[in-house]
């Protein structure tokens, strides 16, 4: 039972254009959503997050949008750069009384930014 889905395994974008990565979830109890970026042979690194009480969060070139009614979130990268080429994981969280964080991950989308 996959609660967080990234239906596009890969995405190719030209340098300077916008990259849009999508994520769908099924569990309405999720209250916190995150995007992680992963390079080969490295661990995932935190990129940006959004609380379920917001619909947008922006950090530099990265913006995350949350549509709760559609149970959908997306990550926009503008402008895309070759160094952004990596696997992007969407994750959703159910709090555990504040002591810990159970992240449920999607399967990732491989972004390739072409120079």
Partner 1 sequence: DTAVSQTPKYLVTQMGNDKSIKCEQNLGHDTMYWYKQDSKKFLKIMFSYNNKELIINETVPNRFSPKSPDKAHLNLHINSLELGDSAVYFCASSQAAGELFFGEGSRLTVL
Q: By CB under 8 A, is residue 53 in contact with partner 1? A: no
Nearer to partner 1, 17 or 46 (CB): 46
Q: By CB under 8 A, is residue 108 in contact with partner 1? A: yes
Q: By CB under 8 A, is residue 26 in contact with partner 1? A: no
Q: Which positions from 71 to 90 touch partner 1 by CB under 8 A, shown as an x/- string?
A: ----------------x-x-
Q: By CB under 8 A, is residue 101 in contact with partner 1? A: yes
CB < 8 Å & 24+ apart, contacts of 105-108: 105/4, 105/36, 106/2, 106/4, 106/5, 106/6, 106/23, 107/2, 107/5, 107/6, 107/9, 108/6, 108/9, 108/38
Other Cβ atoms less than 10 A from the Cβ of 101: the count is 12
Least distance from partner 1 to the Cβ atom of residue 107, Å: 5
């Amino acid at each position: 039972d996959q609660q967080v889905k990234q239906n596009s395994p890969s995405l190719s974008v030209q340098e300077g254009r916008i990259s849009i990565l999508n994520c769908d979830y099924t569990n309405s109890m999720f209250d916190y959503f995150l995007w992680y970026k992963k390079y080969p042979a490295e661990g995932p690194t935190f990129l940006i997050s959004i609380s379920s009480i917001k619909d947008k969060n922006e950090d530099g070139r990265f913006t995350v949008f949350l549509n709760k009614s559609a149970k959908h979130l997306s990550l926009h990268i503008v402008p895309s750069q070759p160094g952004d080429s990596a696997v992007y994981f969407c994750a959703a969280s159910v709090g555990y009384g504040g002591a810990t964080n159970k992240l449920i991950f999607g399967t990732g989308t491989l972004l390739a930014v072409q120079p």
